[in-house]
Structure 1
Amino acid sequence: MGHYEFGANVVSDRYMLLGRITTEGRLSGRIKYDLAQWMAMKLHLQLSGEPGQSQAMLDTDLKGGDWNAQLKLGSPSFLGLNYFQSLTPRLSAGGEFFWLHSNLKSGVGLAMRHQGTKHVATMQVATTGILSLQYAHKVNEKVTLATDFLWQFATREATATLGYDATLRQCRLRGKIDTNGVVTAFLEERFSPGINFVLSGELDHLHSNYKFGFGVVAGE
């Protein structure tokens, strides 16, 4: 049986409204409002007829000259706080904390980011048992290559991913392949101003799982 999704967007200079509803009856929405140049509020909603599947998250974003912070309050009983500070024009670092009361679970994470003229490198480590490394390099004005490494301490499992992003005259092609043998690709072609055709595919030979999709996007 096919599944479909209907969406509507309303965007202005200070606020943004996004809504999606599926044929399964799931409704999701996002509201963003800029209170000032240094403060914004975001509300994420996901409503479902299934018990325990509805969620809500309220974010408060604060931005200074060389720092930014975010406070997150969500259901069920979620509290999160993160802070990021520029140390030099190219290097920044920060941390985050979260508390999930329903599971009596908490976590602390640290992150660093270095940005050069043609590259961006990031590192994240968390007490939840995850180490993540990312590196993106701009080959030229049209091609960017990226790598990702994820290591889970508890299960001693690691995954590496290699991706690419190429912008051609009439289309944009993105894809990746990981060490699990999963290959994905996403093609977006511009038919005319305001009309784009999208084509996506995912091949998982190990589990014999193959997914394909296409769509048409109208509007800028």
Structure 2
Amino acid sequence: MGSSASHAAAPPPPAYGAPPPFAAADAAAAAPPPKPHEEAAAEEKVDYLNLPCPVPYEEIQREAFMALKADTFEGMRFDFTKMISPHFALSHSVNMGSVEVPAQGNDVIKIPTSNYEFGANFINEKMMLMGRISHEGRENIRVKFDLTEKLSVKINAQLTSEPHYSQGMFNFDYKGKDFRTQIQLGNNAFYGANYIQSVTKNLSLGTEAFWLGQQRKSGVGVVARYDTKKWVATGQIATTGMVALSYVQKVSEKVSLASDFMYNQMTKDVTASFGYDYILRQCRLRGKLDTNGVISALLEERLTPGVTFQLSAEIDHWKKDYKFGFGMAVGE
């Protein structure tokens, strides 16, 4: 290597009148800085005819929900899923724990309970069918069917043998280029509609309205969501007296910190929560702390491919109540 470099031909001398090698850099450094209006003009302009499609209206707080609304439980839980074909699967779920019943004061009364559910799922490119039935006869049904690339129909139903406890909801979702809209029809004469529009590349605004005919109640709400690569902020206000704010800071690809604030004008309840979502190589840890004195955490550890161990804990300092649970999820 040294001999080849030493015998390499020397570069030709610069042409007559050519500037020295660093003349361009020196000239740029000596040039006056651009004026503020010139910097703004140099920035990339927003193409309002090519904005991204916003998230669905009901999912504007999905990043905050992942950390603050973890599926904590009490007792023992076991879930088993068997793939029959690439599109069809069967599932079995067993839960053993306790449920709280209303009591006077801050006393907590728990009754032992157990539940078994059998489920069947069918999912392909255009349709999703999910059904579960418990040993007590309760049925949960979820259906999603894509009529076109932009229009889809969703059905959520819960059927029970107890009178007036069955529920059903039909959703018609339309996904535009830079907006989404939804029409909802449900039992008890429920009618609702919402619309969300991308205003800029990061900001989306939306509104909703609903009418509950059986109870003679109506409401209107507005939402705002600002999403960047580092953080997500949302706000929601409704005429029912509910105010909800959330903020998620994406520390890294695996760590997120979240907080939310909720105010109910009708009941004068104010709640603030702070949580985290930490994804490791073999596990996921989520937890939160709120102003009601509740601390909760959920650990999901992947033991082997298809086998996940779950550990759940929740402590309510004000009610002097605690919940502890462990579970196992097995899927083929």
TM-score with structure 2 setting the length: 0.64
Match of residue 2 from structure 1: 113
Q: CA RMSD in A?
A: 1.3
- Greater Cα shift, 102-111 or 195-204: 195-204
> Out of 128, 141, 162, which is 2:274 matched to?
162
Alignment of 1:1-220 (within 5 A): 1-6=112-117, 7-219=119-331
Separation (CA, whole Å) in 2 of partners of 1:209 and 1:31: 38
Q: CA deviation at 1:103?
A: 0.3
- Structure 1 unaligned blocks of 5 or more: none
What is the number of residues matched between the two proteins? 220
Q: Distance in 1 between matches of 2:144 and 2:158?
A: 15
| Counterparts of 1:90 and 1:50, CA distance in 2 | 46
TM-score of the two chains, using structure 1 as the length reference: 0.95
Give yes or no for contact 1:138–1:144 (8 Å, CA) kept in 2: yes
Of structures 1 and 2, the larger Rg is shown by 2
The one-letter code sitting in structure 1 at the alignment partner of 2:312 is S
Q: Aligned partners of 2:313, 2:141: CA distance in 1, in Å?
A: 26
In 1: Cα distance, 2:306 partner to 2:316 partner:
33
Amino acid at match of 2:327: G
Q: Which moved more, 1:210-219 or 1:41-50?
A: 210-219
Inter-partner Cα distance in structure 1 for 2:147 and 2:281: 39
Shift of 1:152: 1.1
Unpaired runs of 5+ residues, structure 2, are: 1-111
Distance of 2:196 and 2:165 partners within structure 1: 31
Higher relative contact order (Cα pairs below 8 Å, separated by 6+ residues): 2
- Distance in 2 of aligned mates of 1:152 and 1:65: 35
